[in-house]
Amino acid sequence: MENTHSPIEQLRAVVRQLWDDLSPAERAVCQYLITASPEQILFASAQELGGATGTSNATVIRTMQRLGFGGLPGLKRALAAEFTSSVAPDVRLQQRISHVGQDLSAIWERVFDEARERIDHCRRLFDSEAFKKAVEMLVNAPGVLVYAAGASDPAARHLALKLGRRGHRARATSATGFALADDLLSLSHGEALVIFQPGRKLKEITVLIDRAHAVGAGIVLISDELGGAFADLVDAVLAAPHTPTGITAEPLTGIIVADALLLALDSLDEPRSVEHSHALNALREQLLGPRFR
């Protein structure tokens, strides 16, 4: 797709190009997509779109893949980029609330729908070679620096904490600007740098990567939109789709990718993981004391 037109115009162009090859059900989905407003698509689940088009959520997802978006979150991400740049945050929040309404059961379902869509999309974007490189780098690294800014910080701290519990020397930082220099100074040869950054191309990311290159540290980027921009500058890129609506937490898929890395590390270095798990539990027993045993 060309990037000179709005996402909706790009969508319409792709639909015109593929129309003759689409099934009747896929055409029904496309007809709705090209006539609906971006807000209607952005805040709708695959199930809701299936109901609106007289098809199914599976047909909606398959149609998105045929159109080159990888799934519904892919289309939402394309729409969200323009939507968030042109609509103020308070207006977006008001529209999100208006779309969900006050039906508490529907609110519950909507959150789970988006979480499932993001996780399914993340699963489909799995790159086995990149995952293998990332795991091998982490298991052999003498130390790991995990970085994330803003809302992605919980994913970075989750990974660093769990690495430490498995016997890996790891630390996390979310520092920005001048304060990041101290953390950059600690990065050394042979270590691994793991960066969680969904979409914004922060200056800190470039400085982190330059520092890793300078000292000879490996780099894993866990991102949604930045993979292509930094692919040639890092050792492995793992996809973690962010939320296009703000309904689910930003670090959701990043934490799941971290958990996959941690389980893989357990499988490759079982003795170390088991040994440190035993030591951790022994320390907890000591800290609880006899009163709580």
Say if residue 85's pLDDT is above 80.
Answer: no
> What average pLDDT does the structure give for the chain?
87
Region 271-280 average pLDDT: 92
Range of the domain at 263: 128-285
Domain boundary (124, 159, 175) is at 124
Cα(276)–Cα(173) distance, rounded to whole angstroms?
Answer: 23
Place 5 in a pLDDT band, splitting at 50, 70 and 90. Answer: low
Same domain, 112 and 142: no
Say if residue 186's pLDDT is above 60.
Answer: yes
**What does the DSSP assignment read for 115-129?**
HHHHHHHHHHT--HH
Residue 102, domain member (yes or no): yes
**What does the DSSP assignment read for 179-246?**
GGHHHHHH--TT-EEEEE-SS---HHHHHHHHHHHHHT-EEEEEESSSHHHHTTTSSEEEE----SSS
Q: How many CB atoms lie within 10 A of CB 278?
A: 10
Residue 2, domain member (yes or no): no
Place 2 in a pLDDT band, splitting at 50, 70 and 90. Answer: very low
What is the side-by-side strand order in the sheet with 170-173? 170-173, 144-148, 192-196, 218-223, 236-239
Residue-wise pLDDT for 247-270, tens only, equals 889 999 999 999 999 999 999 989
Residue-wise pLDDT for 189-247, tens only, equals 999 999 999 877 889 999 999 999 999 999 999 998 888 889 999 999 999 988 877 78
Residue 234, domain member (yes or no): yes
Same domain, 103 and 168: no
Look at the chain and report how many structural domains it folds into.
2
Residue type present at position 272: R
Rg from Cα positions in the chain = 22
